[in-house]
Amino acid sequence: MSLSPLKGEGAIACLSHCDRASSYLRSSVSVPLAQSGNWLNKGVELLVCDLLLTLRTSLWQRGSSSNGEPGPAPGSQVAGFQRDLSAAEKTHTVLQTGAAQGVSS
C-alpha pair distances (Å), 94 with each of 31, 43, 98, 100: 10, 10, 6, 10
Phi-psi region of 37 (alpha: psi -120 to 50; beta: other; left: phi over 0): left
6: exposed, middle or buried (Cβ count in 10 Å: 0-12, 13-18, 19+):
middle
pLDDT the model gives residue 99: 73
Question: C-alpha angle 34/35/36, rounded to 5°?
Answer: 100
pLDDT the model gives residue 80: 94
pLDDT the model gives residue 2: 40
pLDDT the model gives residue 104: 55
pLDDT the model gives residue 101: 72
Over its length of 105 residues, how does the chain's per-residue pLDDT go in tens digits? 344 555 678 888 999 999 999 999 999 998 887 776 678 888 999 999 999 999 999 988 887 656 667 778 888 899 999 999 999 999 999 888 877 776 554
Q: List the domain boundaries for the chain.
A: 38-59+80-99
